[in-house]
Amino acid sequence: MLDCRLHPALKGAVAAAAVALAAAGAPRLARAEQAGRDQAPRVGVAVSVRVNVEPAEAEAVADALGRALRETLVVDVIAGAEAARRLPPDGLPESCVIEKPCVKDVAQRLAADELLFLVVVKVGSRIQVDPTWVEVRSGRAVPRGAVVIEDPGKAQALFAAAASQLLPSAARRTAADQPALDPRPPEGEPVAVVRRRGRRMTAASWITAGVGAAALAGAVGFTLAARSDYKECDDSGACSDGRLDTLERKALAADILWGTAAVAAIATAALYVTSGGEIERVPAGSAALRLAPARGAAVGLALEGTW
């Protein structure tokens, strides 16, 4: 009968290994829990309507709102000049907030999960801001309470006081959140770069390409086999019924496989052409290299990109 008892030294080794594995897994678990806490919705602030307000003044109002939200709530915000730079230079249509294609376009440009559309109206020295919150995924739009600014220097404080009414589902920021979510980069250094993805071979296009390659190989094989059988029958001057049936089956299989290869090639080309175009955010420090002709050289290649 098999003795399953462990030697005392072996027991000690197993216990030490278990402790080591637990110690190694603890930091990973802590990092995973921290990552879950660090996730925050991306909120884009866009001025949709301005009355008696210059573009720079409207951007300043939006920037004050963005800074107030970022410092008060656990959210990632893009607002002010950075948001305006990504939006159409002619501004947004007044009806954008109720038009799903326009909302989707603004969300893609700002890489945002939620949007705050602002109506900024100035009468004398008084500025009234009427925000409308939009959830991009569902398209749900909810007007929020107006914020009246008598003194532009106090705009951020007014927005901070109204932050929870503007984004009621967002958690309020605590001192523990500040280091993880509010490290500000040096002036002029973007945290992320927004770009459109280029065409690429997707998983579906690789599958259709593989099917096409297999069908092409089979089509060539059956075509050569059918041609060989036909040549033998032609050279001998006689061919049995069974041989003719085999020849027909090979020719039919070749035709089907040629058609399959052609359809797969068309599908692969269509999937490749229609791939890309999505807007993605990539870290500004990541390498994106490409080959380009070397400057000032008759022959040669150079590596270009952003780091």
The residues, ordered by sequence, that sit 6+ positions from 36 with a Cβ below 8 Å of its Cβ are none
**Domain around 239:** 203-274
Domain boundary among 114, 147, 179: 179
In a domain, 245, yes or no: yes
Could you identify the residue written with the tokens 């399959």?
Answer: 260
Per-residue model confidence as pLDDT tens for the chain (307 residues)? 444 444 444 444 444 444 444 444 444 444 444 444 446 889 999 999 999 999 999 999 999 999 999 999 999 999 998 999 999 988 898 889 888 999 999 999 999 999 999 999 999 889 999 999 999 998 899 999 999 999 988 999 999 999 999 999 989 988 665 544 444 444 444 445 445 566 778 888 899 999 999 999 999 999 998 888 888 887 887 778 787 888 889 899 999 999 999 999 999 988 888 876 555 555 544 444 444 454 444 444 444 444 4
Does some domain include residue 233?
Answer: yes
Let me know if residue 58 belongs to a domain.
Answer: yes
145 and 65 housed in the same domain: yes
> What is residue 249's DSSP assignment?
H
Contacts of 299 (CB under 8 A, 6+ apart): none
> Which domain CATH number covers 61?
3.40.50.10610
Residue closest to 271 by CA, chosen among 214, 202, 216, 213: 202
Residue 285 forms part of a structural domain: no
Domain check: are 90 and 129 in the same one?
A: yes
Do 69 and 171 sit in the same domain of this protein? yes
Say which DSSP state 173 is in: P
Residue 8, domain member (yes or no): no
The answer to whether 247 and 233 are in contact (CB under 8 A) is yes
Q: How far apart are CA 86 and CA 109, in angstroms?
A: 6
Does 22 fall in a domain? no
* Pairing state between β 114-123 and 42-51: parallel
The DSSP code for 302 is E
Same structural domain, 119 and 216:
no
Complete DSSP assignment for 141-161: EEE---EEESSGGGHHHHHHH
End-to-end CA distance of the chain: 66
Q: Are residues 208 and 252 in the same domain?
A: yes
173 and 120 in a common domain? yes
Q: Specify whether 168 is located in the same domain as 224.
A: no
Same domain for 213 and 169: no
How far is it, in rounded angstroms, from Cα 166 to Cα 159?
Answer: 9
137 and 53 share a domain?
yes
DSSP, collapsed to helix, strand or coil, labels residue 35 as helix
Query: How many domains is the chain built from?
Result: 2
Q: How far apart are CA 302 and CA 268, in angstroms?
A: 31
How is residue 237 written in tokens? 């001057």
0.85 cut: is pTM over it? no
